[in-house]
């Protein structure tokens, strides 16, 4: 699968603070800040380990940044995943800003039927590319946009396997259960009467398609 090149934009470490419009999430000692930043012609989301302690910047900050960039590159063109816009430096990268509401039980009265089917399709496509998220149960990692389409974000914990490879054939079906359990959790909270397939059935479908490259 060919990775799509990211477009260029005018963000560097030196102007990041001045261009920040909002702190979307202030990271703790070992997590990045998530910022809404003016990139000149648009607002973008920046994940930045720069403010963390020196030992974090020198170790896990660089490692996690590189891993998450890799996940977004693998998922380039996935309709539910924001586009990667580019790396700022070894500790920060920028993503397309796609606003949405966090998943919660309160959305049950607002979402039209079929949202969980769309979420399941997005997860199935993600797995087909060899990516397992592992943290979709967290309400901030699944968003609902204005068109009631799912948005999947925060791939810091994701596992990436080569579609069709030995590890993907053996490990992906087992790891995928974490994502399908999360989908089932959201089904129970926002569409309990939908009659959607169980997590086990969805996982079975994922096993059939997990090793197919796209």
Give the residue range(s) of CATH 3.30.200 domains in the chain: 13-96
Backbone angles phi, psi at 77, to 5 degrees: 90, -10
Residue recorded with tokens 């996935």: 78
Residue that wins the pLDDT comparison between 206 and 102:
102
Query: What is the third-level CATH fold of 13-96?
Result: Phosphorylase Kinase; domain 1 (3.30.200)
Q: In the predicted model, what is the mean pLDDT of residues 161-181?
A: 93
pLDDT in tens, 19-30: 999 999 999 999
Rounded to whole angstroms, the Cα distance separating 127 from 212 reads 9
**pLDDT, mean over the chain:** 88
pLDDT in tens, 13-60: 889 999 999 999 999 999 999 999 999 889 999 999 999 999 999 999
Task: Provide the whole-model pTM.
Answer: 0.85
Rounded to whole angstroms, the Cα distance separating 3 from 213 reads 13
Give the residue range(s) of CATH 1.10.510.10 domains in the chain: 101-209
pLDDT score of 198 more than 60: no
- Centre a 10 Å sphere on the Cβ of residue 129 and count the other Cβ atoms it contains: 22
Rounded to whole angstroms, the Cα distance separating 93 from 39 reads 12
CATH number 1.10.510.10 is the correct assignment for the domain at 101-209: yes
Across 82-161, the runs of DSSP E, i.e. the strands, are: 84-89, 92-96, 101-102, 131-132, 142-144, 150-152, 159-160
Helix or strand holding residue 35 (H, E): strand 33-38
Rounded to whole angstroms, the Cα distance separating 17 from 28 reads 18
Residue recorded with tokens 């990436």: 160
């Amino acid at each position: 699968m060919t990775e799509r090149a990211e477009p260029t934009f005018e963000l560097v470490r030196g102007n990041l603070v001045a261009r920040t419009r909002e702190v979307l999430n202030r990271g703790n000692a070992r997590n990045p800040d998530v910022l809404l930043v003016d990139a000149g012609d648009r607002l973008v989301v920046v994940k930045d380990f720069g403010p963390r302690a020196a030992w974090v910047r020198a170790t896990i900050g660089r490692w996690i940044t590189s891993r998450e960039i890799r996940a977004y590159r693998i998922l380039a063109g996935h309709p539910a995943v924001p586009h990667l816009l580019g790396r700022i430096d070894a500790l920060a990268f920028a993503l397309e800003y796609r606003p949405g509401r966090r998943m919660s039980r309160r959305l049950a009265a607002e979402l039209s039927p079929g949202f969980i089917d769309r979420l399941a399709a997005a997860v199935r496509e993600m797995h087909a590319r060899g990516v397992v998220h592992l943290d979709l149960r967290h309400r901030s990692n699944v968003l609902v946009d204005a068109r009631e389409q799912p948005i999947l974000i925060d791939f810091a914990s994701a596992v990436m396997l080569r579609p069709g490879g030995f590890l993907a054939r053996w490990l992906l079906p087992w790891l995928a259960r974490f994502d399908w359990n999360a989908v089932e959790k959201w089904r129970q909270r926002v569409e309990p009467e939908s009659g959607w397939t169980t997590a086990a059935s969805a996982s079975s479908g994922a096993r059939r398609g997990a090793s197919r490259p796209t």
